[in-house]
């Protein structure tokens, strides 16, 4: 037999053994999947280090060579790990907010305003509700600009307890009156689960703020509501944690959730937060829920709002949130970042003229 004939014969044998190994590995994988199902049914942890150790000891004890024991251990550990991964994939719960569960986009209707169906939606209004006159002025401007969602904080989660905490229910009532006077819808932050029912008398959308993204009792209360929820990303939350927070709401039966990227904490000081633009396409890809970008809190400055708004919409955002105040210099919160009414008008002009946003009342 020539050298090359011999090589071919040996290679043919290797191919055969590979085939046998594959058959055995697949048989083993099927068994581990069945074990995984049994463990889930019993509520037992899938990873069992003692059982792994026993198996390795047994295998090594009957190792005929030529591989040394360490190599055999290493090879089998790889097989164990692959099996565990397989069990985990099998039982990883596919989230309700995930596109794997629902490929088509969730569309949230807020009165006549349809969010998440292709048209871009603007939410605007003051950081805090301060006076009826203040909110009326902003509401009038919104209606002139063809913007139908009025925001304003009545319960303000302030960093310092000595800062203005908001007008509470009185603030919600002001928002409602201003919205009704100009045919708008109200979105406002609620910070206490026990206020949800009261809030539902005034608001059309409940906002959950960044600081409360993982306030699980609040999320559950929002999940029990029959109103859309505007959920902001926590300032130190990963995209995955953000989606789990949304899952808290959706899993209670409220599927009307809008996600809002509002910037995350980084070392950068020239912006208040760092707008995580990559979160927008990631969230759109991973979830069927509408995604907004808060262009005010994410950057905390007025001079780059237009390019940031364009970037957000180009990245696939369904809408934008921004703060507008008749006289930002005297605002009781976020005085440095709110824009005044002429600036808002010019902002909207640019959004419309660029074709990025369509007038709602066109």
Would you tell me which residues interact with Mn ion (CB under 5 A)? 127, 334
CA atoms of 265 and 81, how far apart (whole Å): 35
CA atoms of 138 and 127, how far apart (whole Å): 11
Binding mask 74-113 for ligand PEP (x = CB under 6 A): ----------------------------------------
**Residue that has been written with the tokens 């280090």 in this structure:** 49
Strands (E), the chain: 108-110, 113-115, 121-125, 149-151, 185-189, 205-208, 229-232, 257-261, 291-294, 319-323
- Does 247 bind ligand PEP (CB under 6 A)? Our answer is no
HSE-up (13 A, CA, CB side) for residue 237: 26
Enter the tokens of residue 73. 């251990």
Residue whose CB is less far from Mn ion, 127 or 206: 127
Number of residues that bind ligand PEP (CB under 6 A): 10
Residue whose CB is less far from ligand PEP, 43 or 162: 162
Enter the tokens of residue 83. 């099996």
Residue whose CB is less far from Mn ion, 116 or 328: 328
In this chain, which stretch among 10-18, 51-59, 205-213, 309-317 interacts with ligand PEP, using CB under 6 A? 205-213
- Does 166 bind ligand PEP (CB under 6 A)? Our answer is no
> Nearest approach, Cβ of 296 to Mn ion (angstroms)?
7
DSSP one-letter string for 153-199: BSS---SSTTS----THHHHHHHHHHHHHHT-EEEEE---GGGHHHH
- Does 299 bind ligand PEP (CB under 6 A)? Our answer is no
CA atoms of 347 and 229, how far apart (whole Å): 26
CA atoms of 25 and 37, how far apart (whole Å): 18
Near ligand PEP by CB under 6 A: residue from 262, 272, 288, 325: 262
- Does 261 bind ligand PEP (CB under 6 A)? Our answer is no
Residue whose CB is less far from ligand PEP, 96 or 322: 322
232 binds, among ligand PEP, Mn ion, none (CB under 5 to 8 A by kind): ligand PEP
Do 99 and 286 contact (CB within 8 A), yes or no?
Answer: yes
Do 277 and 308 contact (CB within 8 A), yes or no?
Answer: no
> Nearest approach, Cβ of 265 to ligand PEP (angstroms)?
11
- Does 221 bind ligand PEP (CB under 6 A)? Our answer is no
Residue whose CB is less far from ligand PEP, 96 or 115: 115
Residue whose CB is less far from Mn ion, 95 or 332: 332
Enter the tokens of residue 20. 């046998």
Enter the tokens of residue 278. 């990559």
Enter the tokens of residue 15. 């191919």
> Nearest approach, Cβ of 338 to ligand PEP (angstroms)?
11
- Does 189 bind ligand PEP (CB under 6 A)? Our answer is yes
Do 164 and 156 contact (CB within 8 A), yes or no?
Answer: yes
Near ligand PEP by CB under 6 A: residue from 120, 137, 176, 232: 232
- Does 210 bind ligand PEP (CB under 6 A)? Our answer is yes
Residue whose CB is less far from ligand PEP, 96 or 205: 205
Among candidates 158, 211, 218, 154, which has minimal Cα distance to 186? Answer: 154
- Does 209 bind ligand PEP (CB under 6 A)? Our answer is yes
Residue whose CB is less far from Mn ion, 73 or 158: 158
Residues that bind ligand PEP (CB under 6 A): 127, 153, 189, 209-211, 232, 262, 294, 297
């Amino acid at each position: 037999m020539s050298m090359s004939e011999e090589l071919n014969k040996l290679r043919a044998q290797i191919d055969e053994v590979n085939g046998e190994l594959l058959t055995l590995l697949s048989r083993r994988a099927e068994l581990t999947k069945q074990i995984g199902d049994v463990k889930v049914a019993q509520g037992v942890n899938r990873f069992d280090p003692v059982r792994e150790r026993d198996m390795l000891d047994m295998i090594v004890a009957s190792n005929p060579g030529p591989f040394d024991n360490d190599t055999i251990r290493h090879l089998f550990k790889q097989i164990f790990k692959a099996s565990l991964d397989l069990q985990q994939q099998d039982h990883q719960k596919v989230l309700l907010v995930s596109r794997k569960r629902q490929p088509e986009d969730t569309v949230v209707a807020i009165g006549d305003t349809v969010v998440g169906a292709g048209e871009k939606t603007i939410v605007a209004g003051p950081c805090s509700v301060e006076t009826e006159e203040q909110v009326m002025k902003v509401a009038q401007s919104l209606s002139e600009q063809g913007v139908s969602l009025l925001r304003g904080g009545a319960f303000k989660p302030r960093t310092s307890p000595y800062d203005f905490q908001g007008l509470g229910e009185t603030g919600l009532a002001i928002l409602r009156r201003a919205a009704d006077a100009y045919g708008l819808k109200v979105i406002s932050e609620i910070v206490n689960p026990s206020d949800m029912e009261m809030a539902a008398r005034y608001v059309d959308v409940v906002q959950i703020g960044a600081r409360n993204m993982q306030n699980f009792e609040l999320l559950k209360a929002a999940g029990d509501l029959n109103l859309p929820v505007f959920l902001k990303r926590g300032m130190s939350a990963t995209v995955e944690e953000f989606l789990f927070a949304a899952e808290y709401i959706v899993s209670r039966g409220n599927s009307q959730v809008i996600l809002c990227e509002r910037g995350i904490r980084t070392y950068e000081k020239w912006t208040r937060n760092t707008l995580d633009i990559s979160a927008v396409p990631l969230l759109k890809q991973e979830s069927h829920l509408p995604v907004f970008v808060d262009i005010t809190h994410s950057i905390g400055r007025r001079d780059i709002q237009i390019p940031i708004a364009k970037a957000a919409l180009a990245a696939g955002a369904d809408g934008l949130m921004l703060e507008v105040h008749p006289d930002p210099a005297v605002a009781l919160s976020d005085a440095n970042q709110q824009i005044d009414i002429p600036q808002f008008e010019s902002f909207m002009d640019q959004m419309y003229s660029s074709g990025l946003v369509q007038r709602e009342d066109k």
